[in-house]
Amino acid sequence: MDEEKKSEETGHGCPVGTLFRDLEKIFGKKSPFFEHVTGARIEFLKGVRDFVDKRIESLEREERGEGGKRITRVRVEDEGE
């Protein structure tokens, strides 16, 4: 049994993907409802893409030593001096 079929039967797939698949079965791809759902799915995925892009940029800045918190060495004098 292939992994996708097994996942569908056990209910261990992606919940968002499962929701969209079930809605497609109920309303059909050509319904006005599903047109809105498709638009929402696209916007959701664009949001995920933006999140991933920002995280990649952040990791690249850290790797180059840019941004983030910096450590500053402070000399503390002893009162006895």
Which three-class secondary structure state does DSSP give residue 8? helix
Highest mean pLDDT among 48-52, 56-60, 71-75: 48-52
Is pLDDT at 11 greater than 70 in this prediction? Answer: no
Query: Is the pLDDT reported for residue 7 higher than 60?
Result: no
- State how far the alpha carbon of 53 is from the alpha carbons of 34, 41, 46, 48, in Å: 28, 18, 10, 9
Q: Are 22 and 33 in contact (CB under 8 A)?
A: no
Closest alpha carbon to 20 in 48, 39, 1? 39
Cα radius of gyration (the chain): 25
Task: Output the average pLDDT for the chain.
Answer: 81
For the whole model, what pTM was predicted? 0.47
SS3 content of the chain, % helix, strand, coil (to 5): 65, 0, 35
Average pLDDT rounded to a whole number, residues 40-46:
91
